[in-house]
Amino acid sequence: MTAFEKAVRTLKKNGYKTTGKRQRILEILYSNQKYMTAREVQMKLKEMFPSISPDTIYRNLHTFVELDVVEETELNGEKLFRSICEVHGHHHHFICTTCGDTKELEMCPMDSFHQQLPGYEVSSHRFELFGKCKDCLATSSY
């Protein structure tokens, strides 16, 4: 079963209908494998659903995040969304600020912080690196 099929199954298991719009939003996110803004998703949906409202897109994206079938992050005050990683286990990301391409990072910097926080309990953390991927760097150097 593909990650996309698992996402659709999760929707159904949680009582959500797999409408054409929901399915297409998931298809866009799962086929691109990068972080995208809601606006980028809307632009890709316009061909099939020309009158889809931004509210519908945001509502569905936030539902997908709550159901843990889509990941969310924020850059410069704007929410970005992508399919759930197929990499299992705890990991972090490098996110290209130009194209949204994402690379999984295998190490976790929190390992070094435990020594600096004796007697403290960290309940969660978030670590993401932002910059330009090698392709965007190559095209911007001209």
Instruction: Compute the C-alpha angle 56/59/62, nearest 5°.
Output: 145
Torsion on CA atoms 133, 138, 140, 142, rounded to nearest 10: 170
pTM of this prediction?
A: 0.79
CB 131 within 8 Å of CB 140: no
Task: Write down the pLDDT at residue 105.
Answer: 85
Task: Write down the pLDDT at residue 87.
Answer: 63
Structural domains of the chain ordered from first start: 3-83 (1.10.10.10), 92-140 (3.30.1490.190)
Q: How far is CA 84 from the centre of its chain?
A: 6
Q: What average pLDDT values come out for the chain (142 residues) when binned by 10 residues? A: 91 95 95 90 92 94 95 90 78 87 83 81 85 90 57
> Where is 24: in which H helix or E strand?
helix 20-32
Question: Helices 54-66 & 20-32, crossing angle to 10 degrees?
Answer: 70
Distance CA 113, CA 122 (A): 10
